[in-house]
Amino acid sequence: MINKVVPGAAEAVKDIPDNAIVMLGGFGLCGIPENCIQALLLTGVKGLTCISNNAGVDDFGIGLLLKTRQVKKMISSYVGENVEFERQLLSGELEVELIPQGTLAERIRAGGAGIPAFYTPAGVGTEVAAGKEIREYDGKPHLLENWLRADFSIVKAWKGDTSGNLIYKGTARNFNPMMATAGKITIAEVEELVPVGELDPNNIHTPGIFVQRIFEGKNYEKRIEQRTITK
């Protein structure tokens, strides 16, 4: 079996070049690759096109990369928690493609499955439909949407083995599994790294064939975006 382990986040992301297309897993702040984001900050890489469900918050997640102007374009479905994102968007400093969340998920899944395009009713009659082919199916108009693929996909899992097999935990099994299939190079950071044979094959969510680099992360904060409590 191929050992895909690298020493840490710095080694995993060191060859991501300027102007790369990068997918970053997670939903809100759940299941995001915290270590790799911090490592990207240190590399100083510029001009990134980031494909992610969201843009993080101002001082965490992708929001850190926005603050240092390392992101050229965001392809996302939700960006409502980030003031710096809003400022860059309104000032014209940042390119943004907002996509309905289901469409974003399916475009990424299609990229991993090798399906170049598909039709969906989501977005018909809105700005999302601008410039896109429309075809009628079952009496309803549908938009033609293209797949999404990346130079690098960076995902976060709960457990992984040295061959890159991954298990996600709870809500962290969100955009991570589909993004793992849609990158030319997939980097996985895991909370616990085990030898091959330690994971139950029936519980593996991402087979190691999709993963090129893996490492055991550390110092996870696991922040909560909106904490609601009773008095």
Rounded to 10 degrees, the C-alpha dihedral 210/213/219/223 comes to: -30
How does the average pLDDT of the chain come out, rounded? Answer: 94
Task: Write down the pLDDT at residue 82.
Answer: 84
Domain spans in the chain, listed from the N-terminal domain onward? 9-102+149-216
Coil/strand/helix, residue 205: coil
Residue entry with tokens 């590399």: 43
Question: pLDDT value at position 105?
Answer: 97
Structure confidence by residue, pLDDT tens digits, 196-209? 999 999 999 999 99
pLDDT for the residue 1: 67
What is the pLDDT averaged over residues 145-149?
98
User: Rounded to an integer, what distance in angstroms lies between the CA atom of residue 18 and that of residue 40?
Assistant: 11
Residue 56 has pLDDT above 90, yes or no: no
pTM above 0.95, yes or no: no
| pLDDT tens-place string over residues 212-226 | 999 999 999 878 777
Say what the pLDDT of residue 143 is.
96
Class of domain 9-102+149-216: alpha beta
Type of residue found at 210: F
Q: Flag whether pLDDT at 80 surpasses 90.
A: no
pLDDT for the residue numbered 225: 76
Element (H, E) at 21: strand 21-24
Residue at token pair 């090798």 = 114
The whole-angstrom separation of Cα 17 and Cα 1 is: 29
Percent residues over pLDDT 70 in the chain: 100
For residues 99-123, give the mean pLDDT: 97
Name 76's bridge partners. 98
**Per-residue pLDDT tens digits for 157-180:** 999 999 999 999 998 899 999 999
